[in-house]
C-alpha cells in the first residue's frame, strides 16, 4: 500500500511491484483523483493475455501509506490505462505470515495481500523503491523485500503453507508418478503375443490377404467375406429388388450386363 501525492491531494493506492514488467502503469481512476498533469505519448502495451493502448503518461509522487508525511518518496513515470486486474489474496494468509522470511517483519506493506490494483511498477521503479536486499525463505521460495512502502512479498507464494518442503515435494512427486502411470497405461501398445482384433476381424484380414490381387487394368480385386451369422435384413426386400433391377438396367445400357451375369444369378438365387 502506498500514498500517492499531488500537492495537497493524497490518495491511498495499492501497487504491484513487477520485476518482469518494462513499464509502469496507473489506472484512470487514480490519475483523475490526483488531478495529475497528463503528457501525450501513444503507446501499445502488450501483456500475457491482452493488448492495451495508452495515450498519456503522468508523474506520480509515491510514499509509504503507513507514514504519509515521510520524506522517503519516489517520483515515478506511469502510463495511464483504463484499469488493472485485482490481486487474489492467498487462502492461508495467517500461516503465510509465520514463514521465516516474514514472521519477524514488523511492517508489511499490504497486510491484506491482495485487492484491486491502482499501480503496476516496472523493473526500473522496483529498484528505485527498494531499500535493502531481499530475505528469501528457502523452504517456500517466498521472498520479502524492504521497500519505501514496507516489506513486500514475492516469489512462489503457496496457497497453503506446509511444515516442510520435503512433504510438499514428496506430494508433488507422487502426483507426477501417478500421472505418468496413467499416460503409460493409455499409450501402451498390445503385445505381439496377444491380438487386439476380434475373430470376425481376423477372418476379414485373412480373406483380404489371400484374395487381394491387381487386375491387368490396374484396379484391385478382393473377395468379400461372408458372415456365417448374417443379421436379419427386415422388410427391405422390395427396396433391394428395385435397386437391383435399376442396376441391371444401368449395366445393360452400358453393355456390361454379361460381365456381371454370374454375380447377378448368384445374388438372385
CATH number at residue 57: 2.40.70.10
Q: Is there a domain that residue 170 lies in?
A: no
How many Å apart are CA 147 and CA 1, to the nearest integer? 11
Cα(181)–Cα(159) distance, integer angstroms: 27
- Give a yes or no: residue 85 inside a domain: yes
In this prediction, residue 162 carries a pLDDT of 44
Residues of the chain with pLDDT under 70: 48-49, 68, 89-107, 111-113, 136-141, 155-177, 179-180, 182-196, 233-234, 264, 266-269
- As a whole number of angstroms, the distance between CA 264 and CA 269 comes to 9
Using DSSP, state whether 199 is helix, strand or coil: helix
In a domain, 43, yes or no: yes
How high is the pLDDT of residue 53? 84
Question: What is the pLDDT at residue 170?
Answer: 41
In a domain, 260, yes or no: no
Nearest to 34 by CA among 57, 66, 67, 60: 60
Backbone angles phi, psi at 25, to 5 degrees: -125, 155
Q: How many domains does the chain have?
A: 1
Q: Side by side, which strands form the sheet with 135-137?
A: 135-137, 142-147, 150-155
Q: Is residue 14 part of a domain?
A: yes
Residue 50: give the domain boundaries.
2-90+109-131+145-151
**Which pTM was predicted?**
0.53
Task: Say if 72 falls within a structural domain.
Answer: yes
Taking every pair of C-alpha atoms in the chain, what is the biggest distance, in angstroms?
108
Question: What pLDDT is recorded for position 21?
Answer: 85
- Partnered with residue 146 across adjacent β-strands are 151
What's the CA gap between 124 and 137, in Å, rounded?
24
In a domain, 44, yes or no: yes
Amino acid at each position: 500500500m502506498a500514498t500517492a501525492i499531488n500537492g495537497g491531494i493524497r490518495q491511498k493506492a495499492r501497487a504491484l511491484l513487477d520485476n518482469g514488467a518494462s513499464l509502469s502503469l496507473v489506472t484512470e481512476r487514480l490519475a483523475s483523483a490526483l488531478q495529475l498533469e497528463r503528457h501525450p505519448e501513444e503507446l501499445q502495451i502488450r501483456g500475457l493475455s491482452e493488448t492495451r493502448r495508452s495515450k498519456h503518461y503522468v508523474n506520480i509522487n509515491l510514499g509509504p501509506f503507513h507514514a504519509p508525511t515521510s520524506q522517503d518518496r519516489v517520483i515515478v513515470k506511469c502510463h495511464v490505462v483504463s484499469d488493472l486486474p485485482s490481486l487474489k489474496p492467498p487462502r492461508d494468509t495467517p500461516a503465510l505470515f509465520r514463514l521465516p522470511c516474514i514472521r519477524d517483519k514488523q511492517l508489511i506493506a499490504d497486510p491484506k495481500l491482495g485487492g484491486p490494483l491502482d499501480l503496476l511498477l516496472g523493473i526500473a521503479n522496483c529498484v528505485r523503491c527498494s531499500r535493502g536486499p531481499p530475505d528469501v525463505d528457502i523452504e517456500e521460495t517466498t521472498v520479502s523485500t524492504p521497500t519505501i512502502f514496507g516489506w513486500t512479498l514475492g516469489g512462489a507464494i503457496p496457497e497453503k503453507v506446509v511444515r516442510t518442503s520435503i512433504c510438499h515435494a514428496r506430494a508433488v512427486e507422487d502426483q507426477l508418478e501417478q500421472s505418468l502411470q496413467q499416460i503409460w497405461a493409455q499409450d501402451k501398445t498390445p503385445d505381439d503375443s496377444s491380438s487386439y482384433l476380434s475373430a470376425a476381424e481376423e477372418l476379414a484380414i485373412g480373406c483380404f490377404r489371400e484374395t487381394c490381387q491387381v487386375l491387368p487394368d490396374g484396379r484391385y480385386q478382393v473377395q468379400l467375406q461372408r458372415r456365417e451369422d448374417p443379421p436379419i435384413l427386415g422388410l427391405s426386400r422390395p427396396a433391394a429388388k428395385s435397386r437391383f433391377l435399376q442396376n441391371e438396367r444401368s449395366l445393360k445400357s452400358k453393355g456390361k450386363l454379361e460381365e456381371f451375369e454370374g454375380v447377378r444369378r448368384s445374388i438372385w438365387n
